[in-house]
């Protein structure tokens, strides 16, 4: 077994290997040189840079590589290999259109949207002509929904032929500059949560960005916004799925989306490991290369173990999804195990590189920040553990 075999998520089919290889070559040869571009801002790459990267991806034949020409989707196991390669640069998923939240939104629309909705909302996303945002999280100061969807405050009320939506949303990734929005709103009037998803073309005067937050991560175009939705009128034809089905459809999206984050950031952690290893081979201290000091060599060895275990966890969860399971338990386990493992990897890479590791001289410091944020979004580690504990309780049997 080679180091390459250990670091990579395996592409299980000929088509996925070919796609993954082309994506990796594109990211390494074309995308990585843009990492120092001044259009990489604290709130993500600018619209101009995104357009330039996507034009290059289209020319190279790697735009939206996980969705095939006939509209079908690679299996999750195949997708894992492709998305990992796209994640070798924080700009990679943006360039080839495998980034969050678009990748998850495309998956959901492909499963749930009507033919008309797919034409109007999905096709621009697949073609890379538009970005999207998923409006679910709400401000904590207003006791809105976060990890607990039962706290959903945004309300949609019936109007003749449609709905009127009002509320505030928080940490909405990519809202600034998005062309497509999926809004989650409460549609019931009782204590029980009844939620519905609505599709909207953006920008819209009734969907106002109050501010873009300054956050630790900086890879996602548009950053993360506080958004006011003020009496937004949505016709019945733009309800996604059916009224009252929002929470169920959220689960269709969330399990694969959690896993996609794992795939992409695994690629980033592999990149950081490669940079830290090269540094440890070249940099000398106390008469020998850093890698020959146990304190450094052992950190890189621990990274090797964590990366392989994370890859296996991703492949295991992907197999569950491909087998037809909703994979709620598997995706929670994968999200916790992989995000925590990749954070350890990135942290050790920074430590191995010392002062260089905390500087902007390499991409390692950004990968560290991005993976730190990954431990929170799409469900913090603690929420997933709490969910798993409830699962254990439900499944437990008296000791014999």
Judge whether 199 lies within some domain.
Answer: yes
Q: Is residue 400 in a domain?
A: no
pLDDT in tens, 153-198: 999 999 999 999 999 999 999 999 999 999 999 997 766 779 999 9
Among 99, 126, 153, the domain-final residue is 126
The domain tally of the chain equals: 3
Torsion of CA 201, 203, 209, 211, to 10 degrees: 120
Number of Cβ within 10 Å of residue 331's Cβ equals 26
Query: What CATH number does the domain containing 286 carry?
Result: 1.20.140.10
pLDDT the model gives residue 4: 80
Same domain, yes or no: 29 and 78: yes
3-state secondary structure of 164: strand
Q: Both 112 and 164 in a single domain? A: no
44 pairs with which residues across the strands?
41
**Same domain for 251 and 384?**
yes
**pLDDT of 273:** 98
Residues 339 and 354 in one domain: yes
267 within a domain of the structure (yes/no): yes
165 and 96 together in one domain: no
Nearest to 89 by CA among 40, 52, 127, 48: 40
Is residue 71 over pLDDT 90?
no
Q: CB burial class (10 A; 0-12, 13-18, 19+) of residue 324?
A: exposed
Is residue 217 located within the same domain as residue 310? no
Which pLDDT belongs to residue 148?
A: 84
Share of the chain above pLDDT 70, in %: 99
274 CB-contact burial (10 Å; exposed 0-12 / middle 13-18 / buried 19+): middle
Residue found under tokens 């873009």 = 212
Give the DSSP letter of residue 9.
P
Say if residue 163 is in the same domain as residue 48: no
Q: List, in sequence order, the alpha helices (H) in the chain.
A: 3-7, 14-26, 47-60, 76-86, 92-96, 102-112, 115-117, 123-126, 246-282, 294-322, 328-353, 364-374, 381-395
CATH number of the domain encompassing residue 213? 2.40.110.10
d(CA 236, CA 2): 55
Q: Kindly indicate the confidence band of residue 6, based on its pLDDT and cuts at 50, 70 and 90.
A: confident
pLDDT for residue 146 is more than 90:
no
Chain-wide mean pLDDT for the chain? 95
Position 149 scores a pLDDT of 81
Q: Is 179 helix (H, G, I), strand (E, B) or coil?
A: coil
- Determine how many CB atoms are found less than 10 A away from the CB of residue 288: 9
Residue 398 has a CB neighbour count (10 Å cut-off) of: 4
pTM for this entry? 0.95
Mean pLDDT on 292-312: 97
**38 and 165 together in one domain:** no
Q: What is the CATH number of the domain that holds 11?
A: 1.10.540.10
Q: Say what percent of the chain tops pLDDT 90.
A: 88
Residue 30 lies in domain: 3-126
142 and 121 in one domain? no
What would the pLDDT profile of 192-221 be if each residue is shown by its tens digit? 779 999 999 999 999 999 999 999 999 999
Write down the pLDDT at residue 202.
98
- What does the alpha-carbon distance between residue 280 and residue 192 come to, in Å, rounded to a whole number? 56
Residue that terminates a domain, selected from 78, 107, 126: 126
Looking at residue 227, its pLDDT comes to 98
pLDDT at residue 143, as a whole number: 87
Residue 254 lies in a domain: yes
Q: What is the pLDDT of residue 247?
A: 87
**H-type alpha helices, 2-64:** 3-7, 14-26, 47-60
DSSP, collapsed to helix, strand or coil, labels residue 125 as: helix
Say yes or no: 378 and 298 in one domain.
yes
Q: Are residues 263 and 378 in the same domain?
A: yes
Domain boundary pick from 110, 126, 142: 126
Q: Are 374 and 258 in contact (CB under 8 A)?
A: no
- Give the SS3 label for residue 156: strand
Mean of pLDDT values over 22-31: 98
Residues 106 and 48 in one domain: yes
Q: What is the pLDDT of residue 34?
A: 98
> In whole angstroms, how large is the CA radius of gyration of the chain?
21
Kindly report, residue by residue over 309-353, the tens digit of the pLDDT: 999 999 999 999 999 999 999 999 999 999 999 999 999 999 999
**pLDDT given for residue 400 in this prediction:** 62
């Amino acid at each position: 077994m080679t180091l390459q075999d250990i670091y990579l998520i395996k592409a299980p089919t000929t088509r996925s290997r070919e796609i993954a290889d082309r994506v990796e070559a594109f990211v390494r040869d074309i995308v990585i040189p843009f990492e120092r571009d001044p259009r990489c801002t604290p709130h993500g790459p600018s619209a101009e840079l995104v357009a330039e990267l996507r034009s290059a991806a289209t020319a190279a034949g790697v735009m939206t590589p996980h969705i095939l020409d006939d509209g079908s989707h690679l299996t999750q196991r195949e997708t894992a290999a492709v998305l990992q390669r796209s994640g070798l640069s924080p700009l990679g998923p943006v360039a080839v259109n495998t980034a969050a939240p678009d990748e998850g939104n495309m998956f959901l629309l492909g499963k749930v949207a009507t033919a008309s909705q797919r034409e109007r909302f999905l096709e621009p996303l697949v073609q890379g002509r538009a970005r999207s945002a998923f409006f679910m999280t709400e401000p904590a100061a207003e006791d809105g929904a976060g990890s607990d969807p039962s706290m959903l405050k945004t309300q949609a009320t019936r109007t003749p032929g449609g709905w009127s939506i009002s509320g505030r949303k928080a940490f909405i990734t990519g809202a600034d500059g998005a062309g497509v929005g999926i809004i989650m709103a409460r549609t019931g009037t009782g204590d029980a949560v009844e939620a519905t998803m609505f599709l909207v073309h953006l920008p819209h005067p009734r969907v106002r960005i109050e501010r873009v937050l300054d956050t630790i991560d900086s890879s996602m175009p548009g950053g993360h916004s506080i958004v006011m939705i003020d009496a937004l009128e949505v016709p019945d034809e733009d309800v996604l799925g059916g009224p009252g089905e929002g929470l169920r459809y959220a689960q269709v999206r969330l399990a694969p989306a959690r896993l996609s984050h794992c795939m992409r950031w695994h690629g980033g952690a592999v990149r950081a490991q490669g940079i830290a290893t090269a540094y440890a081979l070249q940099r000398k201290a106390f008469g020998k290369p850093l890698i020959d000091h146990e304190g450094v060599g052992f950190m890189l060895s621990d990274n090797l173990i964590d990366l392989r275990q994370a890859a296996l966890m991703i492949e295991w969860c992907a197999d569950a999804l491909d087998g037809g399971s909703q994979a709620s338990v598997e995706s929670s386990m994968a999200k916790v195990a992989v995000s925590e493992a990749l954070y350890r990897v990135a942290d050790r890479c920074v430590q191995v590189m010392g002062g260089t590791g905390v500087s902007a001289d390499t991409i390692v410091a950004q990968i560290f920040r991005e993976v730190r944020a990954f431990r929170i979004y799409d469900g913090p580690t603690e929420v997933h553990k709490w969910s798993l504990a409830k699962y254990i309780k439900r499944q437990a049997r008296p000791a014999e």
